[in-house]
Amino acid sequence: MKNDRRSIHDRHMNILNMVRENGEATVEEIAQEFGISEMTVRRDLQSLSEKSLLYRVHGGAVSLANAKLATDDKSEVSICRDRISAYASRFVANGDTLFINGSITALNLLDYVKDKQVNVHTNNLNVIGKNYASGVRIRLTGGEIRGYILIGDSVMRHLLEMTADKTFIGCAAVYDDGEFRYDVPTEIGINEAMISRTTKGLYILADHTKLQKRSNQISSYGSCIYDYPSTLITDELADPEIVDTLRSLGIQVIVVPIRD
């Protein structure tokens, strides 16, 4: 019994150290790193959260330091995301058909589309209850509800029957090796379906907190590289070194000013 308790304690400490060192970790990353089941990881994270050693979030955990930083920076990050949404709306032309994924920042660009006729196909349930300009027409893809997005075969069938002029998507992280991470792995397939049916432009919206160095990360689970030419729209607080590295990889990066 003592050995069992010791084993659990050691595992908890290993998980806690991983979260602290990386600032955050998903259930999948922890399970792969330590060779344990995702159910065990969830129980461990709940136990550590109850002891106030980390902060439990959907799909994983963040360190207490990162949770505090996120709270302190919330208003600043919100401003950055709003400016990114507003800037992205410049790329929407009258008559465009758009794909928009589950990103709130991407969806919010529609708040700035005025006096244009635009058709939007999205799996983002945050559109419900929102009021857009009269020319913005929304069509949900259908599918299985997962949080605030729609996933599954219905989404894929809908997308593959359509084409769009432009696609606007968000992500959980942008690594300096050109990979984009998604906390819901099924989003990768949905995004790729959108991109495969896009004729004019792919725009990825990510505030400065999402630009990260690969050396700081243990796993690339849930990450992908897009072959389609893409434009990354971020804000002026983004790490200049990461921005330069991404540009050297052929990704067009637009840095949006946030200070008037």
Q: What is the pLDDT of residues 18-64, one digit of tens each?
A: 988 888 889 999 999 999 998 999 999 988 888 878 888 777 888 87
* 60-62 β-sheet, strand order: 24-26, 60-62, 55-57
- Given pLDDT bands bounded at 50, 70 and 90, which one contains residue 140? very high
Per CATH, the number for 2-71 is 1.10.10.10
Q: Is 251 helix (H, G, I), strand (E, B) or coil?
A: coil
Measured CA to CA, the distance from residue 159 to residue 75 in angstroms comes to: 35
Measured CA to CA, the distance from residue 150 to residue 7 in angstroms comes to: 40
Per CATH, the number for 74-256 is 3.40.50.10470
- Identify the residue whose tokens are 């998507």: 169
Q: Is the dihedral of CA 203, 145, 162, 130 positive or negative?
A: negative
Measured CA to CA, the distance from residue 22 to residue 45 in angstroms comes to: 15
- Given pLDDT bands bounded at 50, 70 and 90, which one contains residue 260? low
**Pairing mode of beta strands 97-100, 164-169:** parallel
pTM of the prediction?
Answer: 0.72
* Helical axes 153-160 vs 186-196, angle rounded to 10°: 10
Where would I find the beta strands (DSSP E) of 50-175? 55-57, 60-62, 97-100, 118-122, 136-140, 144-146, 149-151, 164-169, 173-175
Cα dihedral 44, 49, 55, 61, rounded to 10, equals 10
25 φ/ψ sector (left φ>0, alpha ψ -120 to 50, else beta): beta
Measured CA to CA, the distance from residue 53 to residue 206 in angstroms comes to: 29
Q: What is the pLDDT of residues 215-233, one digit of tens each?
A: 755 555 567 788 888 999 9
- Identify the residue whose tokens are 């990510």: 206
Regarding predicted confidence, which is higher, 51 or 260?
51
Q: Are 197 and 160 in contact (CB under 8 A)?
A: yes
- Given pLDDT bands bounded at 50, 70 and 90, which one contains residue 66? confident
Structure tokens at 133: 């300009």
How confident is the model at residue 71, as a pLDDT?
Answer: 53
How confident is the model at residue 220, as a pLDDT?
Answer: 56
Phi, psi values for residue 221, rounded to 5°: -55, 135
Q: Are 161 and 192 in contact (CB under 8 A)?
A: no
Domain chopping of the chain, boundaries: 2-71, 74-256
Q: What is the pLDDT of residues 181-218, one digit of tens each?
A: 887 778 889 999 999 999 999 999 999 989 988 775 55
